[in-house]
Amino acid sequence: MTSVLVVDDEPQIVRALRASLSAHGYEVLTAATGEDALAQAAASAPDCMILDLGLPDMDGTDVITQLRSWSEMPVIVLSAREEQVDKVAALDAGADDYLSKPFGIDELLARIRATLRRAKPAEPGPTVLRFGELEIDLERRLVKRDGEPIHVTPTEYGLLEAMVTNPGKLLTHQWLLRRVWGRGYGEESHYLRIYVRQLRRKLGDDAAHPIYVATEPGVGYRWIYEPDHG
């Protein structure tokens, strides 16, 4: 049975999540403080953590930071904080996703399923990824659309590779900048806007109705096309 650790100091939220998650076949553990959350994460090794940021003893972002020093356990933040700065801070600390309260249980369940899929132990992955008419050869660093090569610059390729190897995951501006441009970067979000726009044009994507790259305003980008299998 897949286990989920719910970390929240609001009893009514905990009761609602316990009932809903249990009804969908999850084993539910609970914690009301950050210290207890970290202790249970170490002792029970749950498959996923659902974390509120407003805890009585420490900020949820600090829980994520401490957890990430020894665990890659998936973390979905579930918080009443809706400011972009809070979302970015939690995601940069190592959260896998962020859902604002009030929330729909169906959306939370879908995000848990998606997060757990991405967290499966890594197997030697395919060197060629296919997303409909788009094909990316990771070993040869080649990109094709409808079988025809697409010329992408090294920076565009680095951005594309970062996205396609993390499908479905919300990638913050800071994470992408450091991954593609280097650790000295992190605030130059205008670089991303320029290169994402160029990449979309070459891929035949539309920002208003995206097939591949969805914008999370003020936070980052998400590659939304799941790879084809078979």
pLDDT of 40 strictly over 70: yes
Main-chain dihedrals φ then ψ at residue 126, nearest 5 degrees? -65, 145
pLDDT of residue 121: 57
**Given the DSSP bridges, would you call strands 48-51 and 75-79 parallel, antiparallel or unpaired?**
parallel
The number of angstroms, rounded, from the C-alpha of 36 to the middle of its chain's C-alpha atoms is 24
Q: What is the pLDDT of residue 178?
A: 83
User: Is there a cis peptide before residue 102, judged by omega within 30 degrees of 0?
Assistant: yes
Strand-pair partners of 56: none
69-73, 128-132, 199-203, 207-211: segment of lowest average pLDDT? 69-73
CA distance 80 to 159: 31
Mean pLDDT of the chain: 89
Domains and CATH numbers, the chain: 3-118 (3.40.50.2300), 128-223 (1.10.10.10)
102-126 pLDDT tens trace: 889 999 999 999 888 877 755 556 6
Asked if pLDDT for residue 230 goes beyond 90, the answer is no
Tell me, what's the pLDDT at 166? 87
- When pLDDT is averaged across residues 185-190 and rounded to a whole number, the result is 72
Q: Which residues pair with 49 in a beta bridge?
A: 5, 75
Checking if the pLDDT of 185 tops 90, the result is: no
Burial class (CB in 10 A: 0-12, 13-18, 19+), 6: buried
Q: Assign 70 a pLDDT band (cuts: 50, 70, 90).
A: confident
In this prediction, residue 14 has a pLDDT band, given cuts at 50, 70 and 90, of very high
Pairing verdict, β 3-7 and 48-51: parallel
What does the pLDDT read at residue 30?
96
Residue 178's contacts (CB-CB under 8 Å, 6 or more residues apart) are 185, 186
Q: What are φ and ψ of residue 162, in 5° steps?
A: -60, -35
The residue assigned the tokens 């094909």 is 135
Residue 214: Cβ within 10 Å count: 16
Between CA 227 and CA 170 the distance in angstroms is: 16
pTM of the model as a whole:
0.61
